[in-house]
Amino acid sequence: MGLMQEIRSFPVPRKSVAMWWLGQSGYIFKTAEGTLASVDLYLTDSCANLVPGMNLSRQVPILLKPQETEVDLFICTHSHQDHADPETIGALRNKDTAIFAGPCQACDVFRGRAIEDSRIRTTWPKSELQFRDIHIRGMFALPTDDTDLNHMGFIFQFGGGPRVYVTGDTDFSELLYSAAQYTPDLVITVVNGGFNNLSHWEAADVVGRIKPRAAIPCHYDMFPDNSVDPLQFRSAMRMRAPGVAYQQLEHGKVFVFSREA
């Protein structure tokens, strides 16, 4: 059974969300009602020669080809190519029927791959989007460089299931603590520290202020020249977020998170 078929057939318990990590910051989420949403899917090796002198060759196998990928809602946190990949977007299996959402510069990437305006939803911090049984709230993120000054995070409410905060790429700011007011159950955070992203220590500090039940690290695995050991984040959490459980996902393996512990 292929991964997309596995995702579509997987039964999600009530008050839960199922998620599959596909590397870097790319996830597919499935609700108990069967709605599929993705965030920052990078399903090619298009970044390999993006920056001269850097090794940005893909280290994580392509577990799901764009031509096989069929989600209802395709979301990007910003326009960097490992988050809003034109090659992934252009080759999606249901490119002509999915809804695409993200901040302005990501929407420009969508349009560049012939996505019609009628299927694009522009997002911004504190904006809200309801799609079937998923509620999405835009959150603040601090841009990491001047190639995209339009970064965002998102808080997802999956039907009657948990709230999940995805930080997106972000530099450190105390404004990230503002996610606490929405009481997310789970935080998915960058931890790599490179190129002005949150370091493992800064990410642990943010998680400690938000106080979710659990935290998942990401954005540490894809490129040789932008990688770290995620266990540094686990160690930092013991000091900065001692009441939060550390959860490390495996690529392509389902993880089910429930609203109730």
**Are 237 and 208 within 8 A, CB to CB?**
yes
**What distance in Å separates the CA atoms of residue 148 and residue 54, rounded to the nearest whole number?**
20
> Is the per-residue pLDDT at 261 higher than 70?
no
DSSP readout, 153-213? EEEEEETTS-EEEE--S-B--GGGGGGGGG--SEEEEE---GGGPPPHHHHHHHHHHH--S
Mark out the alpha helices in the chain (DSSP H runs). Answer: 3-9, 86-91, 104-112, 200-210, 231-240
- DSSP helix/strand/coil, 134: strand
Residue range 124-168, pLDDT digits in tens: 999 999 999 999 999 999 999 999 999 999 999 999 999 999 999
**Are 200 and 237 within 8 A, CB to CB?**
no
Q: What are phi and psi of 98, to 5 degrees?
A: -70, 160
Residues β-bridged to residue 128: 137
Pairing of strands 152-158, 128-131: unpaired
Other Cβ atoms within 10 Å of 239 Cβ, number: 11
Q: Which candidate, 148, 183, 189, 140, places its Cα nearest to that of 167?
A: 189
Residue range 219-249, pLDDT digits in tens: 999 999 999 999 999 999 999 999 999 999 9
* Token output for 86: 């034109």
**What distance in Å separates the CA atoms of residue 247 and residue 203, rounded to the nearest whole number?**
14
Residue spans of the domains in the chain: they are 3-249
Residue range 58-72, pLDDT digits in tens: 999 999 999 999 999
Whole-angstrom Cα Rg for the chain: 17
* DSSP, res 145: B
**261 class by beta-carbon count within 10 Å (0-12 exposed, 13-18 middle, 19+ buried):** exposed
Q: Per the confidence metrics, is the pTM higher than 0.95? A: yes
**What distance in Å separates the CA atoms of residue 59 and residue 69, rounded to the nearest whole number?**
20
Instruction: Please tell me the class of the 3-249 domain.
Output: alpha beta
